[in-house]
Amino acid sequence: MTAWEIKGWCPGALRPMQSGDGLVVRIRPPLGRLTPAQAQAIAQAAETHGNGIIDLSARANLQLRGVTETSHPYLIEDLRAQDLIDPDIETETLRNLIVTPFRDAETTHLAATLTAALARMPTLPGKFGFALDTGPRPVLTQASADIRIERAGDGRLILRPVGHTLGQPVTDLAADAIAMANWFVASGGITNGRGRMAALIARGITPLNCTLAPTDPLPTPSPGLHPDGALVALAFGQMRAETLHQLAALGHEIRPTPWRMLLLVGATALPVIPGLITDASDPILRVTACTGAPACPQALGDTRNLARQVAPQLSATQSLHISGCAKGCAHPTAAKTTLTATGQGYDLIRNGTAHDTPSLTGLSPQAILDHLKAPNAPQL
């Protein structure tokens, strides 16, 4: 029995999710990119119809917070005018696609092909998704997905089921992706409407013809200038609408990333805008923290105020996940160190997820800070 509610689906724009500060409206950028006009429209909608707060999700989407039942229809109307809204909830739910921000024209074409194919997929779990990672080397290997499109060492496209080290050669991207999704369903990958590819592969069930290895992945990129443009980060992936207004005014295409950063395509200088993180050594980047209380109704404690206090005390080699509950939404996989709010303090978990067995329990925020500030204190 868990102490938190598992929804089994992600919020959308047409199907928002209730949170502690109102409705969370998730916008899936078409082909993983936003024009300056679309970014301006999102910023304006956040101010007009929400509380002005915008989150970047781990699936490279944008989430508007504080939307009400009354304001929601008007928000949809404004965003639909910028082609940011799907025709219906079914189409929106299927469009779980992460596209590498570092791309060429071929990748954009592949993204359009795969997006069109999603409408012909079988009924899949709400969290089932695809990652199009077809740059010279993969960068999305840590992003949440179930089927990945990558490149083999010889440059050929491969379709790799998550959980398997090898992939199958692509002959027709749309047909092959649909076939693998059908295989997932037929092989028993769904139970009570839920299921992920990695869990199916872990049971020893593997599709045929997975013989090609992908190229070695690159580490998660850091903020700074890259060949494709300027990559900028935000503390905990959250910004005010005014920040997005200023970014859109620069006139660059904006590509959200699953690292909760934004790529400003073609930018040759880092923007100087309040709230942006452009220094890869900024200590706040060492901490991952969910929304926490009170904005999340399931959170049992504060996360981000604590994170801001803890971050400067961490060494350059330390990283930390702070979760408002044992669900661990901000970092579902194992982390080196996790602090999980319990309502009676924070549990400390090493090399595990937010709901794994803790090595210490009931830590107060002050006890955590005192430990970190103590001379020669061991790492958390």
pLDDT tens per residue, range 284-326: 999 999 999 998 989 999 999 999 999 999 999 999 999 999 9
Q: Is residue 343 part of a domain?
A: yes
What pLDDT was estimated at residue 265? 98
Amino acid at 148: R
Q: Are residues 114 and 191 in the same domain?
A: yes
Q: Flag whether 55 is in a domain.
A: yes
Q: How many CB atoms lie within 10 A of CB 372?
A: 18
Tell me the pLDDT tens digit for each residue of 232-287. Answer: 999 999 999 999 999 999 999 999 999 999 999 999 999 999 999 999 999 999 99
Q: Which two tokens stand for residue 354?
A: 């937010």
Q: Which domain holds residue 240?
A: 17-91+221-277
Q: What are the tens digits of pLDDT across the range 330-370?
A: 888 889 999 999 999 999 999 999 999 999 999 999 999 98
**Amino acid present at 35:** T
In the prediction, which pLDDT does 370 show? 86
pLDDT tens-digit profile of 183-202?
999 999 999 999 999 999 99
pLDDT, averaged across the chain: 94
In the chain, the percentage of residues whose pLDDT exceeds 90 is 88
Identify the band that residue 136 occupies on the pLDDT scale cut at 50, 70 and 90: confident
Q: Vertex 262, ends 259 and 265: CA angle to 5°?
A: 130
Give the pLDDT confidence score for residue 371 in this predicted structure.
80
pTM of the model: 0.93
Indicate whether 245 belongs to any domain.
yes
Annotate 133-192 with DSSP letters as a single string.
--SSS---TTS--SEEEEEBTTS-EEEEETT-S-BEEPSSHHHHHHHHHHHHHHTT--BT
179 Cβ neighbours under 8 A, 6+ residues apart:
none
- Secondary structure element (H or E) that encloses residue 365, with its range: helix 365-373
Q: What is the CATH number of the domain that holds 320?
A: 3.30.413.10
Question: Do 62 and 131 belong to one domain?
Answer: no
Last residue of a domain, one of 277, 294, 309: 277
**Domain boundary pick from 235, 259, 277:** 277
On the question of pLDDT at 2 being above 70, the answer is no
Decide if 33 is inside a domain.
Answer: yes
Does residue 211 lie within any of the structural domains?
A: no
Provide the pLDDT confidence category of residue 1 given band limits of 50, 70 and 90: very low
Find out whether 33 and 26 touch, Cβ atoms under 8 Å.
no
Picking from 145, 172, 202, the residue at the C-terminal end of a domain is 202
Average pLDDT of the segment spanning 18-37:
96
* Order of strands across the sheet that contains 97-99: 97-99, 130-132, 147-151, 157-161, 168-169
Q: Is 56 helix (H, G, I), strand (E, B) or coil?
A: strand
Q: How confident is the model at residue 34 (pLDDT cuts 50, 70, 90)?
A: very high
Q: For residue 378, name the pLDDT band (cuts at 50, 70, 90).
A: low
Q: Residue 10 domain-assigned?
A: no
Mean pLDDT of 39-47: 98
Q: How many domains does the chain have?
A: 3
